[in-house]
Amino acid sequence: VQSNSTSATADTVTADLSDRLARIVGDKHLITGGVRLRPHLEELRGRYTSACRAVALPADAGEVAAVVQTCAAAGVSIVAQGGNTGAMGGAVARAEQVIVNLARMNRVLEVDPVNYTMRVEAGCILANVQAAAADAGRLFPLSLGAQGSCQIGGNLATNAGGINVLRYGNTRDLVLGVQAVLADGRIWDGMNSLRKNNTGYDLKNLLIGSEGTLGIITAATLKLFPAPKRRVVAVAGVASPDAALDLLGRLRDASSDRLSTFELMANIAVQSAVRHIAGQTDPLAGEHDWYALIVADGTVDGDGDAGAGLRRDMEAGLARALDDGVLRDAVIAESESQARKLILLRENIVEAQNFEGGSIKHDVSVPVAQVPEFIRRVHAAILDAMPAARAYPYGHMGDGNIHFNISQPPGMDKEKFLAQWRPMNRIVHEIAHQLGGSFSAEHGIGLTKLEEMARYKSAVELDLYRQIKRALDPHNLLNPGKVLPAASASR
Ligand code: MLT
Ligand code: ZN
């Protein structure tokens, strides 16, 4: 566990600042200790300890602005936090910092089915955003494992990905406007609902993915889509990532490009979920080296037949792939509950990996066509470095994002294995880099990937980032130490 303290003398927030913050948000909504503090300090992977002792929960953008102004006047920096489900330590705070958590700002402000948009406050839980859209017969397509607890503001701040990126894009692609509190406490209202607005620099997209380092997003206007009338969910067993790539192309064609999800899972991951997660069964009769979870959804139907056309197209595509030897076996869900179970298989493999001991994690993307080559090369290189290591790759093959995780050799000391985190990361990231890929496809940078930022980003790019940071946050008050590596760490 790394401590996120910069100096041994790091102070705590003064009583005077606490009093001022409590006057803004109300005593009840300033947490300075006790059991309510803990969820704000714990971090998903247990890699950092958050020493923060002041969590402010403002009720609206005005209170966020007042909190920022008050902290700025005291020279105290702020870590914006949503559902605290991020994987890179981006919401970890030091003892002398204040966490601003957006949980109370959880109103869906408007759903406009005609304009295909909705306006939400930043603290809305993602699942509630999805449900509000569905109630209006619309789809908000962002979908990821943490959707029951992550907040939409955090999704924007980290430009979250998930399982529907193949069809609908990343969070960035799903946003039309934002409202944000800036480092000096001003509120920028960019909540437009326009699909065309070609007027100057794209400030919204600077804030999205900036992990709270350039501003605190307080509300957003989101894009909606027609609610699918039918979804076809299948799991296929294939012999190799090459076969999976072939299958992906065939099913995009067969479905007239109506695939929203194409996830790849190694056999070890599927069997781990089957073994360790209650109620999880192997959907296919025999084991396969690789599995693909495939979802197609349709809004318009070729023959106006309540979705039967899409199912027919998918069945035909899968049958042809079987005949041509591209897949070994496949199952299509017969009911919505079966469909949910197949999707859960993919979601459960993340938790299932915890049962396999220590895990060194990756979140890499390469061009989709390079996924098989990437997997081959990483697999060989990892076994070369640690012959008993167990490759546990899975991920969003449809968009080229593979979580090539590594589970410890059985019987090995967990800490000894985890001590190999950096060299293993280096192996995987170097191969991704050589293939034109990225060291962080969807989880962002936070604290975890600072070294990679310094290594893989060009001096020009880092210089531009720093200039932008200085322009928007000249006193380094917003989530300092995240995203941007220290200048001395750059190549
Ligand atoms: C997933 O795709 O399930 C997650 O991004 C994996 C993770 O949280 O490590
Ligand atoms: Zn993922």
**pLDDT tens digits for 367-417?**
999 999 999 999 999 999 999 999 999 999 999 999 999 999 999 999 999
State yes or no: pLDDT of 300 exceeds 80: no
* Contact assessment for residue 366 and residue 436, using Cβ atoms and an 8 Å cutoff: yes
Residue among 189, 218, 206, 215 at smallest CA distance from 78: 215
Atom number, ligand 1, closest to the C-alpha of residue 361? 9
Mutate to test the pocket of ligand 1, among 343, 363, 448 (most ligand atoms within 8 A of CB): 363
Does ligand 1 have an atom closer than 6 angstroms to the CB of 362?
A: no
**pLDDT score of 6:** 39
Burial of 295 from C-beta contacts in 10 A (0-12 / 13-18 / 19+): buried
pLDDT band (50, 70, 90) for residue 307: low
Answer whether 357 contacts ligand 1 (Cβ < 6 A).
no
Check: CB of residue 30 under 8 Å from CB of residue 56.
yes
Could you tell me the pLDDT band of residue 222, with boundaries at 50, 70 and 90?
very high
CA of 261 relative to ligand 2 center, distance in Å: 12
Residue 338 pLDDT greater than 80, yes or no: yes
Torsions phi, psi for 253 (to 5 deg): -65, -50
Is it the case that residue 5 has pLDDT exceeding 70? no
In sequence order, what DSSP letters do the residues of 188-214 get, joined into one string? EEE----S----S--HHHHHTTSTTSS
Work out the number of other CB atoms within 10 angstroms of the CB of residue 55: 26
Residue 182 near ligand 1, beta carbon < 6 Å:
no
Q: What is the pLDDT of residue 384?
A: 98
DSSP class of residue 151? B
Q: Find the mean pLDDT for residues 162-191.
A: 98
Determine which residue's CA is closest to atom 2 belonging to ligand 1.
395
- Ligand 1: which residue has its CA nearest to atom 7? 350
Q: Is the CB of 350 under 6 A from ligand 1?
A: yes
Ligand nearest to the CA of 346: 1
pLDDT greater than 70 at residue 348:
yes
- Mean pLDDT calculated for residue range 253-266: 97
pLDDT > 50? residue 7: no
Residue 346, classified by CB atoms within 10 Å of its CB into exposed (0-12), middle (13-18) or buried (19+), is buried
**pLDDT, position 2:** 54
382 ligand 1 Cβ < 6 A: no
DSSP 28: G
Ligand nearest the Cα atom of residue 150 = 1
Q: Is the dihedral of CA 424, 430, 432, 438 positive or negative?
A: positive
pLDDT at position 4 over 70: no
Residues with Cβ within 8 Å of 14's Cβ and at least 6 positions away in sequence, in order, are 74
Instruction: State yes or no: pLDDT of 145 exceeds 50.
Output: yes
The answer, yes or no, to whether any atom of ligand 1 lies below 6 A from the CB of 361, is yes
**pLDDT tens figures, 417-442:** 999 999 999 999 999 999 999 999 99
Nearest atom of ligand 1 to the alpha carbon of 162:
2
Residue 145 in contact with ligand 1 by CB distance below 6 A: yes
Atom number, ligand 1, closest to the C-alpha of residue 349:
3
- pLDDT tops 80 at residue 473: yes
CA 347 to ligand 2 centroid distance, Å: 9
**pLDDT value for 302:** 52
Give the chain's mean pLDDT.
Answer: 95
Please choose, from the candidates 163, 309, 166, the residue with its C-alpha nearest in 3D space to the C-alpha of residue 230: 309
